Chain A
């Protein structure tokens, strides 16, 4: 009896030490910093973690919550390594982990992929439950299933069920390609889709310009709108006096085309800068994301604070090209964007535009409390004169 007790105690001691060691190693990896800080220590810790058996996978996955993207990659590599040499995985614990929406979304997706490998049938059964999942990667799987069903119904001329399926898919979809495919299907079924609202694009702006951007110097130059917003003011612009005017876009992807505000000769103005300003009334203070698409050089300010800027011209543009973190104040928030056009004259350098939306980290639109109805017609000063600006709220 005595030797048995000793052995049991030794075993217990081993597990406690092992668990502490794993926990220490995970913490070492969680603390990796910028410019490779902590890499040498993390490499040693990673070696220790990767030796662990598959029962530790839920612990490693849990550790991904709240870590930096770099630390998440270190931990992910450990999970991949352990899983690839393990004959069996702790399926029950992994399923519980996937079901726990409080865990890191990337880690939950990774756990799902482990289940897909070991028990594809079980994984497939989970998919419909992901339709409103906080993980966009998991949600995508569920949306794809509903889209498949909608397509089948549409092909069978079952229009009402097809519309219901595609509506469900669109409401859940966060990836651009799925949103576009479901929108096309719904429109083919004569349904209306309010894409600006779905994305949360900001459609109503006030604009001022053009200011000078000769030799791209305007990007750094501080023009009056960067100091204060005064809709009644008149400033010296590049080609004479400039003042604020209202600009509305009706583009379904929220494109604010500055060439429509300031149509120049030929292919548009060159070496110029403009500003666009809007206000956003938040129903509550919250963390959100500003997502910008833009192929011109730009800067953006939230409540007078510069958030980010980039001096790249005409290399490409897409929805959600830039994702910027934002702390929305309850009530009034101001947004100012500076948009620079350079000297290039090739056909692909005509664009002077941006699209901006506010959403949460999953891409779900966060609408302003007073979001106007989506406009059906927009400003185009090549066809009609500009309107006076809407007065900013106090």
Chain B
């Protein structure tokens, strides 16, 4: 009996571990532990596609048997949607709607449903470009909501906001940085009430916070990186050599790869990530477009505006092989094993085997729709969303 309980617990933990809980997955780096994704793609791998009730480029969450998505609809995108679909067949499990309380104006390419929601496994935290923050449980029951533009009237970006929230410890971190009233907020994840509110650089910023250790979050801006304690918003350390305001940093094995002067690698202090990190290298030859960098094994991968995939050595930053893909790309790729999964803005999925000598495209599938959001991975499937549909790709 004892062994059975332990086995059940282990299986449960394993299921939780494969959930895709935030922008770029559970570690916030696009790396999936899934080993059952198809690489050589064909139309047979498209298991289902479902029409969505609105637009969006936010990524999906995969929580057990649920795919969670956000959308916005209406002539000025004032209707906000959070929807849960069954992973098996795409049927709707629940659908909740809200009215935007903040400004909904954004560039025609983006959408009010741009930020990817996040989850702590108990609740879902959805953020929209209107700065509405909505907390629902996994069954769609409302826990709390906030309207950050109602509270801080100049928090908005007329091109649209896109920063995806993260939850760590008991704090939900929401970056609402813009040219005017620019903040990052730490909200009590149980009530939505401010734990802290940080003044941030007055500049439009579309990057997302990155959890670099339990309770420690890296906030990226045009000025660089600020590592902030999620509990009280206090600053642990700063990297002030500037950074991009579009692609976000990524973390693997204690090293942050920052979109700064190409890519800059910062090694976290092994004893305490709250101590100032050591700069390992900086490489201007690793150029980024809109997509964030991703790291697997000993290579960092960047994709530039021309669609050229470039590899760099994680120890030295030295540039390795390059491979031209069909771009352009807005979505950050995800990885499973040795494969990288890219989807370009025209909906063409390209799977790259990163262990061949010069990299090789081993699979493609054209969904023939504009796709701007990073895919989600869960339960042996890849989930992608366009402005009109969500797709499940699996063996």
Q: Which of A36, A77, A78, A312 is close to B191, meaning CB atoms less than 8 Å apart?
A: A36
Chain B residues with Cβ under 8 A from A6's Cβ?
Answer: none
Chain A residues with Cβ under 8 A from B187's Cβ?
Answer: 36
Residue of A nearest to B80 (CB): A73
Q: Are B101 and A73 in contact, with the CB atoms below 8 A?
A: yes
Q: Are B144 and A36 in contact, with the CB atoms below 8 A?
A: yes
Min C-beta distance of A36 to chain B, whole Å: 4
- Does A350 belong to the interface (CB within 8 Å)? no
- Does A177 belong to the interface (CB within 8 Å)? yes
Chain A residues with Cβ under 8 A from B74's Cβ?
Answer: 137
In Å, the complex CA distance between A30 and B119 comes to 27
Most-contacted residue by chain B among A42, A77, A316 (CB, 10 A): A77
Chain A residues with Cβ under 8 A from B106's Cβ?
Answer: 316
In Å, the complex CA distance between A215 and B179 comes to 14
Residue of B nearest to A140 (CB): B75
- Does A281 belong to the interface (CB within 8 Å)? no
Residue of B nearest to A80 (CB): B96
Chain A residues with Cβ under 8 A from B94's Cβ?
Answer: 84
Query: Which B residues between 164 and 192 are near A, CB-CB below 8 angstroms?
Result: 178-180, 187, 190-192
Q: Are A42 and B144 in contact, with the CB atoms below 8 A?
A: yes
Min C-beta distance of B119 to chain A, whole Å: 18
Chain A binding surface SS class: helix
- Does B147 belong to the interface (CB within 8 Å)? yes
Query: Which A residues between 72 and 99 are near B, CB-CB below 8 angstroms?
Result: 72-74, 76-78, 80-81, 84
Min C-beta distance of A112 to chain B, whole Å: 13
Min C-beta distance of B64 to chain A, whole Å: 20
Q: Are B103 and A70 in contact, with the CB atoms below 8 A?
A: no
Q: Are B99 and A39 in contact, with the CB atoms below 8 A?
A: no
**What 1/0 mask marks residues of chain B from 122 to 155 whose CB sits below 8 Å from any chain A CB?**
0000000000101000001111111100110110
**What 1/0 mask marks residues of chain B from 356 to 368 whose CB sits below 8 Å from any chain A CB?**
0000000000000
Query: Which A residues between 35 and 52 are near B, CB-CB below 8 angstroms?
Result: 35-37, 39-40, 42-43, 46-47, 50
Query: Which B residues between 85 and 109 are near A, CB-CB below 8 angstroms?
Result: 94-99, 101, 103, 105-107
In Å, the complex CA distance between A68 and B145 comes to 13
In Å, the complex CA distance between A40 and B140 comes to 17
Q: Which of B97, B105, B159 is close to A76, meaning CB atoms less than 8 Å apart?
A: B97
Q: Are B158 and A316 in contact, with the CB atoms below 8 A?
A: yes
- Does A188 belong to the interface (CB within 8 Å)? no
Q: Are A80 and B194 in contact, with the CB atoms below 8 A?
A: no
Q: Are B75 and A177 in contact, with the CB atoms below 8 A?
A: yes
- Does B350 belong to the interface (CB within 8 Å)? no
The size bracket of the interface on A is: 35 or more
In Å, the complex CA distance between A137 and B76 comes to 11
In Å, the complex CA distance between A129 and B179 comes to 44
Q: Given A36-B144, A39-B192: A308 and B153 within 8 A (CB)?
A: yes
Q: Which of B95, B142, B146, B192 is close to A46, meaning CB atoms less than 8 Å apart?
A: B142
Residue of B nearest to A316 (CB): B158
Considering only CB atoms and an 8 Å cut-off, how many residues of chain B contact the other chain?
42
In Å, the complex CA distance between A84 and B83 comes to 13
Q: Are A73 and B98 in contact, with the CB atoms below 8 A?
A: yes
- Does B16 belong to the interface (CB within 8 Å)? no
Q: Are A315 and B157 in contact, with the CB atoms below 8 A?
A: yes
Chain B residues with Cβ under 8 A from A187's Cβ?
Answer: none
- Does B193 belong to the interface (CB within 8 Å)? yes
In Å, the complex CA distance between A172 and B243 comes to 49
Q: Are B144 and A316 in contact, with the CB atoms below 8 A?
A: no
Q: Given A80-B96, A316-B158: A35 and B101 within 8 A (CB)?
A: no
- Does A311 belong to the interface (CB within 8 Å)? yes
Q: Given A35-B193, A81-B141: A312 and B101 within 8 A (CB)?
A: no
Q: Given A312-B157, A312-B180: A40 and B103 within 8 A (CB)?
A: no
**What 1/0 mask marks residues of chain A from 130 to 162 whose CB sits below 8 Å from any chain B CB?**
000000010010000000000000000000000
Residue of A nearest to B188 (CB): A36
- Does B246 belong to the interface (CB within 8 Å)? no
Min C-beta distance of A174 to chain B, whole Å: 10
In Å, the complex CA distance between A316 and B178 comes to 13
- Does B204 belong to the interface (CB within 8 Å)? yes
Chain B residues with Cβ under 8 A from A137's Cβ?
Answer: 74
Q: Given A36-B191, A39-B192: A70 and B145 within 8 A (CB)?
A: yes
Q: Given A35-B151, A84-B94, A321-B105: A311 and B180 within 8 A (CB)?
A: yes
Chain A residues with Cβ under 8 A from B107's Cβ?
Answer: 316
Min C-beta distance of A169 to chain B, whole Å: 15
Q: Are A77 and B98 in contact, with the CB atoms below 8 A?
A: yes
Q: Are B193 and A39 in contact, with the CB atoms below 8 A?
A: yes
Chain B residues with Cβ under 8 A from A77's Cβ?
Answer: 96, 98, 142, 145
- Does A176 belong to the interface (CB within 8 Å)? yes
In Å, the complex CA distance between A310 and B147 comes to 19
Chain B residues with Cβ under 8 A from A70's Cβ?
Answer: 101, 145-147, 150
- Does A295 belong to the interface (CB within 8 Å)? yes
Residue of B nearest to A313 (CB): B179
Chain A residues with Cβ under 8 A from B192's Cβ?
Answer: 36, 39
Q: Given A34-B151, A69-B147, A74-B145: A312 and B97 within 8 A (CB)?
A: no
In Å, the complex CA distance between A308 and B94 comes to 39
Min C-beta distance of B96 to chain A, whole Å: 5
Most-contacted residue by chain B among A137, A140, A315 (CB, 10 A): A315
- Does A106 belong to the interface (CB within 8 Å)? yes
- Does A330 belong to the interface (CB within 8 Å)? no
Q: Are A39 and B144 in contact, with the CB atoms below 8 A?
A: yes
Chain A residues with Cβ under 8 A from B101's Cβ?
Answer: 69-70, 73
In Å, the complex CA distance between A37 and B191 comes to 9
Interface contacts beyond A73-B98, A73-B147: sample of 7 additional A-B pairs, CB < 8 Å, sorted by A: A50-B141, A69-B101, A70-B101, A73-B99, A106-B99, A137-B74, A315-B158
A residues apposed to B, CB below 8 Å: 34-37, 39-40, 42-43, 46-47, 50, 68-70, 72-74, 76-78, 80-81, 84, 106, 137, 140, 175-178, 295, 308, 310-313, 315-318, 320-322
The 4 nearest A-B residue pairs measured at CB? A315-B158, A36-B193, A316-B158, A77-B142
| 7 A-B contact pairs sorted by A residue (CB < 8 Å) | A39-B146, A40-B190, A46-B141, A73-B98, A84-B95, A140-B75, A316-B107
B residues apposed to A, CB below 8 Å: 74-76, 94-99, 101, 103, 105-107, 132, 134, 140-147, 150-151, 153-154, 157-159, 178-180, 187, 190-194, 202, 204
